[in-house]
Amino acid sequence: MIRVSVITQNDKFFIPKNIKLLIDDSKIKVCSIYVVNAKGSISNKKYFFLKNFLNAGSIILSLEYIKNSFFDKLDSTFNYNIFGGLKSIKSLSKFHKINYKVINNPNNEIVISNLRKLNLDFIISYSSPSIFHKRLLNTPKFSCLNLHSSLLPSYSGLMPSFWVLFYKEDFTGCTVHYMDSKIDNGSIISQKKISIDGIKSVFKLNKLTKYHGGKLMIESIHKVFSGDINLIKNKVASDLYFSWPTNTQIKQFIIDGGRLY
């Protein structure tokens, strides 16, 4: 059995489904799930999205979030027999009896100590908002693996789905790579190219890349575990790294027909 722990951030739309893929794999055991509540987490940027995308889908997305939270509460009331815990990471953990904890920093010594006790083969990062330091990177037997929603090394960093739409790319993709002490750096294990044709919404593109990325992570775990890998070089350069867009860039994105939802 391949033993993994997940380090991620709070999300109600995409990440629960990716974790469920790990849970459903007969050769993988999810030992624990840590949700990092950091300043840079998407869940702590609600006001940023609401204000800047007010006329481009932020209200609709907020309503979707509220609806999802209601369904999550309904699911928990009926012992997760309606949606199987898929409406939140916490509910998914409870339904499958997986240890769940909210933390501020995955590099905390107590967190690392608890992870080491689990004799992990892999630590899986789904949008973890923190850089992993050496002691954490060296905790699992094999490696720490990260899923990033672009074709690395292009569009590394934050909000890749926004930036590929902003620059009107024809394709994007998803990448699973070994983690090191730099953001979105480390050798690439697997990639999948995805057409952007007809997509204007950041949310819809996220949904597409996370869907394919979840499957790609399963494939990559088995590749590394079996030793059947052909690594691709990946070295993130400063001109390929993106951060939060400015107000001016968001306005231009909306003028060009882009939407948050």
Cis geometry, peptide bond prior to residue 106 (ω within 30 degrees of 0): no
Question: What is the distance, to the nearest Å, from the Cα of residue 192 to the centroid of all Cα atoms in its chain?
Answer: 16
Domain of 186 in residue numbering reads as 2-255
Looking up residue 121, the CATH number of its domain turns out to be 3.40.50.170
pTM of the model: 0.95
Largest pairwise CA distance in the chain: 52
Report yes or no on 42 lying in a domain. Answer: yes
- The pLDDT assigned to 115 comes to 98
**pLDDT mean by block of 10 residues, the chain; 261 residues:** 97 97 98 92 84 92 95 97 97 98 96 98 96 97 97 96 97 97 94 96 97 98 95 85 95 97 95
Backbone angles phi, psi at 226, to 5 degrees: -85, -15
Measured between its terminal Cα atoms, the distance across the chain in Å is 39
Q: How many domains does the chain have?
A: 1
What are 47's two structure tokens?
């006001």
Backbone angles phi, psi at 143, to 5 degrees: -175, 170
Report yes or no on 261 lying in a domain. Answer: no
| Rounded Cα gap, residues 218 and 141, in angstroms | 17
Angle of the 202-226 helix axis to the 15-24 helix axis, nearest 10: 30
Find where tokens 């904890």 sit: 101
What are 255's two structure tokens?
């003028």
Report yes or no on 14 lying in a domain. Answer: yes
Find where tokens 């939407």 sit: 259
**Those residues with Cβ within 8 angstroms of residue 78's Cβ, 6 or more apart along the chain or in another chain:** none
Strands 143-148 and 171-178: what pairing? antiparallel
- The pLDDT assigned to 56 comes to 93
- The pLDDT assigned to 40 comes to 75
- The pLDDT assigned to 61 comes to 94
- The pLDDT assigned to 32 comes to 98
- The pLDDT assigned to 236 comes to 79
Report yes or no on 260 lying in a domain. Answer: no
DSSP 55: I
Evaluate the CA torsion angle 91, 93, 94, 99 in order and state its sign.
negative
- The pLDDT assigned to 41 comes to 81
Report yes or no on 62 lying in a domain. Answer: yes
Backbone angles phi, psi at 45, to 5 degrees: -115, 25
